[in-house]
Amino acid sequence: MTAFAILLALGAGVFAARPAAAQESIAVPVGDFFFCAESFENGVCETAVAEGTTVTWTFGGAVSHTTTSDDALWDSGGISSGAFSFTFDTAGTYTYHCTIHPAQMRGRIVVQAPEPTVPRATAVVDLVPPATPTSGPGLPSTGQGGAGGSGGWWVVAGALAAGLGLTTLGAGYAAMRRRGD
């Protein structure tokens, strides 16, 4: 019964629903000719996030810009001030650019899947002590003798003596055959 309960508990752990990832948000600044920071002008702004994260591009600057997915998943349209958000629900790498300034303004969002949760197995062992041999009414004697009894040492001694005798006979017979007797 105990083993069944353990297997049932382990099975429930394997099939239990995984808790939903916490909804996170991250901001990516957009300025005149850059994503992330001015140092990324003519470079690629890379941002790593977890699945389910909402990325918000915050626009500020003198001219309009866009955040546009290279594979048409989103397009903010031209914005000079304000914000645009997109939620990334699937792991993968998403590249984007500004359609007004595609050579200077490029970015990459790397969405990472959560680490899978692995149920841990716990072994439970029921230790049952061995039964103590007893004798009583209706039960045969175990032959173990009592405390201080003679036990069966004489059986072992007899077997050793017989083995030694057979070995000696065999050696003598082999020697006689070699001599031709």
Single residue among 84, 112, 140 that ends a domain in this structure: 112
Q: Judge if 100 and 50 occupy the same domain.
A: yes
Question: CA–CA separation, 57 vs 83, rounded Å?
Answer: 5
pLDDT at 150 over 70: no
Range of the structural domain that residue 41 is part of: 21-112
Q: Is residue 77 part of a domain?
A: yes
CA–CA gap between residue 83 and residue 76 (Å, rounded): 9
Q: Please tell me the distance from the alpha carbon of residue 80 to that of residue 89, in angstroms, as a whole number.
A: 27
pLDDT in tens, 159-175: 777 777 667 766 666 66
Domain match, 31 and 107 both: yes
Question: What CATH code is carried by the domain that includes residue 102?
Answer: 2.60.40.420
In terms of Cα–Cα distance, which of 94, 111, 108, 109 is closest to 50? 111
Beta strand extents in the chain (DSSP E only):
25-31, 34-35, 43-50, 53-59, 68-69, 82-88, 92-97, 105-112
Amino acid at 143: G
* pTM score over 0.85: no
Number of domains the chain contains: 2
Strand partners for 83: 58
Q: What is the pLDDT of residues 114-126, one digit of tens each?
A: 888 877 777 666 6
